[in-house]
């Protein structure tokens, strides 16, 4: 689908969030500024989270409380698979919450088979193409 604004991407995220279940893992792909964090904000809203979602750039994970716990993971700074293993990403997959991962390609070998994959592509300044293997009713 196509999003023409940050707000529209948030609304798409919100619809996705409403459909998620405990244990779901969402892998986000896309370059800098593609909108992975913006989409995550919408997903958190859809999960009834009132906390402010920030980019977890300087830590690997931020935890938020929605109707279930939300683990927002950013692997941008993870250069080696070993870093990701040390951080213990798999514990978040098997948790009772929802896991959203930016720069998910860095954990390619570790993602569960039923991971929901969402790719954001920048078409121009305000337009993004959003591709996903998940039906959120849009």
Ligand X SMILES: Nc1ncnc2c1ncn2[C@@H]1O[C@H](COP(=O)(O)OP(=O)(O)OP(=O)(O)O)[C@@H](O)[C@H]1O
Q: Let me know how long the chain is.
A: 138
11 binds ligand X (CB under 6 A): no
Q: Which stretch binds Mg ion (CB under 5 A): 50-58, 64-72, 88-96, 130-138?
A: 50-58
> What number of CA atoms fall less than 13 Å from residue 42's CA on the CB side?
19
Q: Which does 38 bind (CB under 5 to 8 A by kind): ligand X, Mg ion, none?
A: ligand X
Closest by Cα among 7, 71, 72, 3 to 42 = 7
Closest by Cα among 66, 22, 63 to 42 = 66
Q: Which of 38, 104, 107, 132 binds ligand X (CB under 6 A)?
A: 38
Give the strand order in the sheet containing 2-3: 2-3, 127-132, 116-124, 25-29, 98-102, 69-74, 61-65
Q: Which of 54, 126, 133, 138 binds ligand X (CB under 6 A)?
A: 126
Greatest CA span in the chain, whole angstroms? 38
37 binds Mg ion (CB under 5 A): yes
Q: Which is nearer to Mg ion, 38 or 136 (CB)?
A: 38
Q: How many residues bind ligand X (CB under 6 A)?
A: 19
Q: Which does 78 bind (CB under 5 to 8 A by kind): ligand X, Mg ion, none?
A: none
Sites of contact with Mg ion (CB under 5 A): 36-37, 55, 102
Sites of contact with ligand X (CB under 6 A): 3-6, 8-9, 30, 32-38, 55, 102, 126-128
């Amino acid at each position: 689908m196509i999003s023409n604004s940050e707000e529209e991407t948030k609304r798409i995220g919100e619809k996705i969030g409403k459909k998620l279940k405990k244990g779901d893992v969402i892998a986000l792909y896309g370059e800098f500024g593609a909108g992975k964090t913006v989409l995550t904000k919408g997903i958190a809203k859809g999960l009834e989270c009132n906390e402010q979602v920030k980019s977890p750039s300087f830590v690997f994970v931020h935890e938020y409380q929605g109707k279930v716990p939300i683990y927002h993971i950013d692997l941008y700074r993870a250069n080696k698979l070993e870093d990701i293993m040390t951080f213990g990403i798999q514990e978040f997959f098997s948790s009772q919450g929802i896991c959203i991962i930016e720069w998910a390609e860095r954990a390619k070998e570790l993602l569960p088979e039923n991971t929901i994959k969402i790719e954001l592509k920048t078409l121009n300044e305000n337009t993004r193409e959003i591709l996903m293997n998940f039906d959120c009713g849009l």
